[in-house]
Amino acid sequence: MIDREEPRIGAFLRVTRAEARAQAEAADRRLASGNGSAGPLTGIPVAIKDVLSVRGVETTAGSQILRGYRPPFDATAIARLRDAGAVFLGMTNCDEFAMGSSTENSGYFPTRNPRDTSRVPGGSSGGSAAAVAAGEAVYSLGTDTGGSIRQPAALCGVVGMKPTYGRVSRYGLIAFASSLDQIGPFTTSVRDAGLVLQAMSGLDPLDATSADRPVDLLSGLELGVEGLRLGVPREYFQVEGMEAGVKAAVDRAILQLERAGAELVEVSLPHTDYGLAAYYIIAPAECSSNLARFDGVKYGARDEDAQTLLDTYLRTRRRGFGTEVRRRVMLGTYALSAGYFDAYYLKAQKVRTLIAQDFAGAFEHCDAIVSATTPTVAFPIGAKVDDPVAMYLNDVLTLGGNLAGVPGISLPCGTSDGLPVGLQILGPQWGDAVVLRVARAYEVARDA
Amino acid sequence: MREGWEAVIGMEVHAQLATRSKMFCGCSSDYLAAAPNSSVCEVCLGMPGTLPVVNRRAVELVVKTGLALGSEIARHTKFDRKNYFYPDLPKGYQISQYDLPMCLGGTIDVGGRTIRITRVHLEEDTGKLVHAGDALHTAASSLVDLNRSGVPLMEIVTEPDLRGADDARDYATALRAILRAIGASEADMERGQLRAEANVSVRRAGAEALGVKTELKNINSFRALHRAVEFEIDRQIDVLEAGGTVVQETRGWSEAEQRTFSQRVKEFADDYRYFPEPDLPPLELEPAWVEELRASLPELPAARRARLAERHEISAYDAEQLTQDAATADLFEATVAAGAPAKQAANWIISSHPTLPAARLAELIGLVVGGTINREQGLAVLEEAQAGDRAPADIVRERGLSQVSDESELARVVDQVIADNPKPVADFRAGKTQAISALVGKVMAATRGRANAKVVNQLLLTRLQG
């Protein structure tokens, strides 16, 4: 399937055939042994976003600066799937260091949307979304910093979930913005998303921001929405550039949830308008620091023509990083500089607190929030590459969930102009199970 | 201090905390013992995707230090990133503390004066560069050793309360004694476990405004600290008296040339773009836990110094020397408890740094004080007792070392020496009194050093003057 689809889609940066074969054979033995060591993920093939460290496998975060880098260790999420008997197919394409919403910022090549190859798959986890949409992998892993799982899931017509911040260890995830990044799955069904998340979740002594909380994502999955209150945030339906076809599909989905027994309540997230600005200060500020380690001294590509230390830094980073990464590093450096810190970074953190309070307030009136995942369907390749702000607006409905640290899922809810539309369900902090439960209820109603 | 001038000095001391493992990973923090780049892991190498986890013991040692200095211990504290590029800093930032340090305020007593502590905070150390060649600017290449990367460091900052080179040295000595007493750091300057930087400026005596300061680095011993500060004060006064101005800069201390030299001129303030470390949740220091640590603190050097001087009637100097580290003071007290006279015990411990158990040291001192052996013999016995882990009394017995004080036994030898050495005898009688020492030496030689010199002296005088 990968051989057939790859020339058309370009979802993978690297396919690890030998490793996959060895893991598949080990999984076969485990399944055949009948000793109870096999689980639901044993022998199931998974594609991995190129930002998650896999021991011995080239992992580059979609960047030329990490070309040739093979981590000597597994990310915790990867180690847990390895223990569960997963079969690793390879590393999927993404926007460089997960910065982007179309996978066009990859340091290698753009990925195409399997539903219409003239269009982007979304991003930054575009390769992982496309791999599942094209049937190249049963499931895949992505990371979501401002919508990088949910947005491409919506645009490719698959299920994608970002758990509560702290649910899945970030150890081994090549950081973009540490306080926002979370790892999550792409699948074709809500149950599969819950299964994968269950396997990856839980306290990790290697990640001080991972939570010591019980993880039970599956036992309430089929309880339905009868008796649940679903919040409809009015600000999320008034965002700039919301396409009529997207709004119609989402309205239909919400109506189906109401018919399935949910009570709809209007809620307000009053600081929504400030989310984008706050996000594009906090995320670049953290990235400017996180990416400082790519200096040509220790790993990855180094410019060998440099004559001085400063020159080594400048040339290595100028050559190794793409335009969007350089833009965000500069933005973030500026925002953290003496004299600007209070006006930018500190103010953005205050907005972040207000947005988290918005969500906490809304969840006093409802059990989950429903909205569109993105204002538009998949756009043509090249349409927004020269307009960063238009590109950033893709994330306007998803980045609030990252700023507030709450869980969210996107699942397909029909089409607009023949292209998939995503329904987003957001839950309160640690309410990952209720998000999955509402998503599952919609899936049942939709497929009935 | 030169007439009409005053120096103003503030110190920043970095102390390596006495933890087994590094600040944010499980690697051994004993970086000196390991081959280059062998005491490292993916975390302290700063590999992509790795995350820090706080070493609880390091936090404990900083809090204990704050308690020992009388600092206010923060209820809420956090780590921040200090961003800058350098090859010995693998992440491109150092995890440190910016605006919410663990300990604020505090004091330390230096020579009867109170020096104010500004703050104490926790951070990680960087790696080291090794330059292939004699000097940085001529080196063909530089190599990076990251064994030290991530080793826990505590930074202790004073207010500009110190007034001279003696102050600077005495402050560092007093701080070392405290850190050792509470087990926070081994604080060995030569091994880089205690790194002192002094901010030095001078002004006319009586002036209010501070002069331009320089920051002194590369100081590897207490002696070097004293000399560097002394040199720098003189240099600044020379510059100002010649009508020049002091340049704000970092100056290194050259041990070879015994002078400070300009390392880096600060044209503008560094911008480290500090921001809260997003990989580490803020730290809450529970008051109950802090109180537990307070209760666990041993007696501090200042208190112990006062107690030893008073109870054992030893000099202030001796008490100070004995309380440089807890083990020395412990040995002194145990030796006295085992029966040694305090003054003698202090002398032996300060001058010979014995490694004997207290009971054996007391036994040895008893042999000297009781006149069984003389002091020179005592030193030889000490050496042998330490080397062979044996009791001093056994050594004295086996070697037949015991001192001869018996007058009748010594009188025979003395008479023989007088008979055999007419020249010094004649000299003495002619008024050259120092000639007696040659005769004492002959008696000592004849008794293989065992004669009680005092008794011999007396016997000679009686015979020669009589």
Could you give the 3-state DSSP secondary structure of residue A441? helix
Residue with tokens 């020339």: A7
Q: Please give the Cα distance from A144 to B120 (Å, whole number).
A: 38
Rounded Cα–Cα distance for residues B136 and B156 (Å): 29
Give the C-alpha distances (Å, rounded to integers) separating A427 from A220, A264, A370. Answer: 15, 15, 9
Is B54 an interface residue toward A (CB < 8 Å)? yes
| Residue B431 exposed, middle or buried by CB count within 10 Å (0-12, 13-18, 19+) | exposed
Q: Check: CB of residue A211 under 8 Å from CB of residue A203.
A: yes
Single-letter amino acid, residue A234: R
Contact: A170, B51; criterion CB under 8 Å: yes
Q: How far apart are CA B458 and CA B463, in angstroms?
A: 9
Residue type at position A319: R
Q: What pLDDT shows up at residue B134? A: 62
Q: For position A407, what pLDDT does the model report? A: 98
Domain boundaries, chain A: 2-270+357-447
What whole-number distance in Å separates Cα of residue A296 and Cα of residue B149? 18
- What letter represents residue B17's amino acid? L
* ipTM of the complex as predicted: 0.96
Across the 466 residues of chain B, what is the mean pLDDT of every consecutive 10-residue run? 92 98 96 92 97 98 98 98 96 98 96 93 95 68 93 98 96 95 94 96 94 94 96 97 94 93 78 97 97 95 91 91 88 94 94 92 91 85 89 85 79 90 89 88 84 86 82
Catalytic residue among A63, A102, A124, A140: A124
CA distance A133 to A114: 6
Domain chopping of chain B, boundaries: 5-288, 299-399, 407-465
Task: Answer whether B362's CB lies under 8 Å from B345's CB.
Answer: yes
**Mean per-residue pLDDT pooled into runs of 10, chain A (448 residues):** 93 96 95 88 97 98 96 98 97 98 97 98 97 98 98 98 98 98 98 98 98 95 97 94 96 98 98 96 98 92 87 94 97 94 96 98 98 97 88 92 98 97 98 98 96
| Contact criterion met (CB below 8 Å) for A48 and A141 | yes
In terms of residues, how long is chain A?
448
pLDDT on residue B142: 84
Res B131: pLDDT:
81
**Nearest-CA residue of chain B relative to A180?**
B278
Return the SS3 of B192: coil
Which entry of A63, A106, A148, A210 is annotated as an active-site residue? A148
**Contact assessment for residue A157 and residue A418, using Cβ atoms and an 8 Å cutoff:** no
- Specify whether A124 is catalytic: yes
Best B78, B129, B279 residue to mutate vs chain A (most A CBs within 10 Å): B279
The rounded radius of gyration (Å) of the Cα atoms in chain A is: 21
A49 tagged catalytic: yes
Residues 6+ apart with CB under 8 A from A284: A177, A328, A329, A331, A332, A335
Residue B429 structure tokens: 């009688």
- Mutation target to probe the A interface, by most A beta carbons within 10 A, among B273, B277, B283 is B273
pTM of the model: 0.88
Q: Measure B197 CA to nearest chain A CA, in Å.
A: 25
Alpha-carbon distances of A196 from A54, A70, B283, rounded to whole Å: 17, 25, 32
DSSP string, A90-137: EEEP-SGGG--SSSTT-SS----BTTBTTB---SSSHHHHHHHHTTS-
Q: Any catalytic annotation for residue A162?
A: no
The string of DSSP letters for B162-216 reads B-SHHHHHHHHHHHHHHHHHTTS----TTTTSEEEEEEEEEEETT--S----EEE
Q: For residue B186, how many other CB atoms are within 10 A of its CB?
A: 16
CB A218 within 8 A of CB A195: yes
Q: In 3D, which of B417, B409, B397 has the Cα closest to residue B464?
A: B417
Q: Write down the pLDDT at residue A275.
A: 96
Contact (Cβ atoms closer than 8 angstroms) between residue A123 and residue A103: yes
Which residues are CB-neighbours of B321 under 8 A, at least 6 positions away? B328, B346, B350
Shortest alpha-carbon distance between residue B36 and chain A (Å) = 15
Residues B335/B322, Cβ–Cβ less than 8 Å: no
| CB burial string A164-180: b at 16+ within 10 A, e below | bbbbbbbbbbbbbbbbb
Contact (CB<8Å) A71/B49: yes
Nearest CA in chain B to A293: B91
Output the pLDDT for position B336. Answer: 95
Q: φ and ψ at A26, to 5 degrees? A: -65, -40
What span, in angstroms and rounded, lies between the C-alpha atoms of A199 and A193?
10
**Which two structure tokens, joined as six digits, stand for B246?**
């002091």
- Going by C-alpha positions, the residue among B92, B68, B58 that lies closest to residue B298 is B68
Put simply, whether B286 touches A (Cβ < 8 Å) is: no
- Domain B407-465, second-level architecture: Orthogonal Bundle (1.10)
What is the Cα–Cα distance from B283 to B80, expressed in whole angstroms? 12
Whether residues A208 and B47 touch (CB distance < 8 A) is answered with no
CA atoms of A280 and A347, how far apart (whole Å): 12
- Condensed to tens digits (0 to 9), the pLDDT of residues A304-327 reads 888 888 999 999 999 999 999 999
What's the alpha-carbon Rg for chain B, to the nearest Å? 29
| CB–CB contact A71 B87 (8 Å) | no
Please report where in the chains the tokens 């995503």 appear, as a residue.
A422
Q: How far apart are CA B90 and CA B94, in angstroms?
A: 9
Report which secondary-structure segment, H or E, holds B6.
strand B5-16
Residues of A in contact with B51 (CB under 8 A): 170-171, 206-209
> Could you tell me which CATH class the domain A2-270+357-447 is placed in?
alpha beta
pLDDT, residue B466, reads 64
